[in-house]
Amino acid sequence: MLWYSHILISIGGPDVWNRPLTHPQYVQAAEILLRLYSDGNTTKDAVGADVMAEGIAEAASKLKPDCPIITCIRGTGEEKAQEILRNAGLKPLFDTEEAVRQAVAFCKGGTV
């Protein structure tokens, strides 16, 4: 889902948070959100799940992290996203709560 803060930082740059709330870029970000969701569908993806999965797979391949990557990507293209993650050697999860449980368990010294 596209969040207001993502739009705001894209429009205003990294120093946007130092500007007053009356700055025109805050209004512009709100107007963009209103246009995007004017049809009542508030679950639109800013980027498809498959595109996010490609980015995760590429990052995992390049960075080779020494900790688990816990993924739960839902939305447009999620079937393809799951395939991409599996092909990258990652285990896609389907339940956000399970993903959180696994992340917490790992942080407490457990394994995933």
Is residue 73 classed exposed, middle or buried when 0-12, 13-18 and 19+ CB atoms within 10 A define those classes? buried
Encoded amino acid at 71, one letter? T
All residues at 6 or more sequence positions from 27 whose CB lies less than 8 Å from its CB, including other chains: none
Q: Where are the domains of the chain?
A: 4-36, 49-107
Architecture of domain 49-107: 3-Layer(aba) Sandwich (3.40)
pTM of this prediction exceeds 0.75: no
All residues at 6 or more sequence positions from 96 whose CB lies less than 8 Å from its CB, including other chains: 72, 74
Report whether pLDDT(91) > 80. yes
Report whether pLDDT(97) > 70. yes
Q: Which of 46, 48, 41, 53 is nearest to 77 (CA)?
A: 48
Q: What does the pLDDT look like over 13-46, one tens digit per residue?
A: 777 778 887 788 878 877 777 777 666 655 555 6
